[in-house]
Structure 1
Amino acid sequence: MASAPQNVSLPLFYNDLVLLSTQEHANWKSRSTDKAKWLAGVNTVPLTVEEFPMAQRHFPIVFSAGDNPFPIALMGMNEGVNVFVEEDGTVPSPIYMPAYVRRYPFLLARVQPNSDELSLCVDPTSDLVGEFEDGQPLFDGNNPSEACQNTLKFCEQFEIAGQKTANFMAELQKHNLLMDGELNIEIGTGEPVNYRGFRMVDENKLREVRGDILRTWNQSGLLALIYAHLFSLDLVRDIFGRQIAQGKGPALPQQSS
Structure 2
Amino acid sequence: MATAAPANNLPLLYKDLMPLNSNEHGKYRTKTFDDAKFMEGHHAIPLTIDEFAQAGRHYPIIFSDSENPVPLVLMGMNEGVNTFMDADGKFTSPVYIPAYIRRYPFLLAKLSPESEELSLCFDPTSDGIGAYETGDTLFEDGKPTETTKNILKFCEDFETAGARTQSFVEEIKKLGLLMDGEVAIQQEGREQPFVYRGFKMIDEEKLREMRGDELRKINQNGLLPLLYAHLFSLQLMRDLFAAQVAQGKAPQVTEAPAA
What range describes the TM-score normalised by the shorter chain of this pair? over 0.9
- Superposition TM-score, scaled by structure 1 size: 0.94
Provide the residue aligned with 1:51 in structure 2: 51
Provide the residue aligned with 2:118 in structure 1: 118
Provide the residue aligned with 2:196 in structure 1: 195
Mapping of 1:108-187 within 5 angstroms?
Answer: 108-187=108-187
What is the alpha-carbon distance in structure 1 between the residues aligned to residue 154 and residue 9 of structure 2? 23
Question: Do the aligned residues in 2 keep the contact of 1:29 with 1:137 (CA within 8 Å)?
Answer: yes
Question: Do the aligned residues in 2 keep the contact of 1:40 with 1:87 (CA within 8 Å)?
Answer: no
Q: Residues 211-243 of structure 1: CA distance to partner in whole angstroms, max 9, x if unpaired?
A: 112112112221000000000000011100110
Provide the residue aligned with 2:257 in structure 1: none
Q: Residues 80-114 of structure 1: CA distance to partner in whole angstroms, max 9, x if unpaired?
A: 00000123211120000000000000000001321
Mapping of 1:79-90 within 5 angstroms?
Answer: 79-90=79-90
Q: RMSD value over aligned CA atoms? A: 1.4
What is the alpha-carbon distance in structure 2 between the residues aligned to residue 5 and residue 217 of structure 1? 33
Question: Do the aligned residues in 1 keep the contact of 2:76 with 2:240 (CA within 8 Å)?
Answer: yes
Amino acid in structure 2 at the alignment position of 1:218: N
Partner secondary structure for residue 62 of structure 1: strand
Amino acid in structure 1 at the alignment position of 2:227: I
What is the alpha-carbon distance in structure 2 between the residues aligned to residue 54 and residue 214 of structure 1? 24
Partner secondary structure for residue 241 of structure 1: helix
Provide the residue aligned with 1:41 in structure 2: 41
Q: Residues 138-167 of structure 1: CA distance to partner in whole angstroms, max 9, x if unpaired?
A: 111121111000000000000000001001
Question: Do the aligned residues in 1 keep the contact of 2:30 with 2:128 (CA within 8 Å)?
Answer: yes
**Comparing 72-81 and 209-218, the one that deviates more:** 209-218
What is the alpha-carbon distance in structure 2 between the residues aligned to residue 40 and residue 5 of structure 1? 24
Question: Do the aligned residues in 1 keep the contact of 2:179 with 2:200 (CA within 8 Å)?
Answer: yes
Provide the residue aligned with 1:221 in structure 2: 222
Cα 1:156–1:6 change in 2 (3 A) is: closer
Shift of 1:8: 4.4
Shift of 1:209: 1.8
The total of aligned residue pairs comes to 250
What is the alpha-carbon distance in structure 2 between the residues aligned to residue 133 and residue 228 of structure 1? 44
Within the alignment, does 1:210 sit opposite 2:208 as a pair? no
Moved over 6 A (4+): none
- Superposition TM-score, scaled by structure 2 size: 0.93
Question: Do the aligned residues in 2 keep the contact of 1:41 with 1:87 (CA within 8 Å)?
Answer: no
What is the alpha-carbon distance in structure 2 between the residues aligned to residue 96 and residue 26 of structure 1? 33
Give aligned-pair identity as a percent: 54
**Comparing 7-16 and 175-184, the one that deviates more:** 7-16
Provide the residue aligned with 1:32 in structure 2: 32
What is the alpha-carbon distance in structure 2 between the residues aligned to residue 236 and residue 5 of structure 1? 34
Provide the residue aligned with 1:14 in structure 2: 14
Question: Do the aligned residues in 1 keep the contact of 2:6 with 2:17 (CA within 8 Å)?
Answer: no
Shift of 1:190: 3.2
Mapping of 1:97-116 within 5 angstroms?
Answer: 97-116=97-116
Amino acid in structure 1 at the alignment position of 2:216: R
Question: Do the aligned residues in 2 keep the contact of 1:18 with 1:124 (CA within 8 Å)?
Answer: yes
Provide the residue aligned with 2:238 in structure 1: 237
What is the alpha-carbon distance in structure 1 between the residues aligned to residue 77 and residue 38 of structure 2? 18
Partner secondary structure for residue 89 of structure 1: coil
Partner secondary structure for residue 79 of structure 1: coil
Cα 1:50–1:22 change in 2 (3 A) is: same
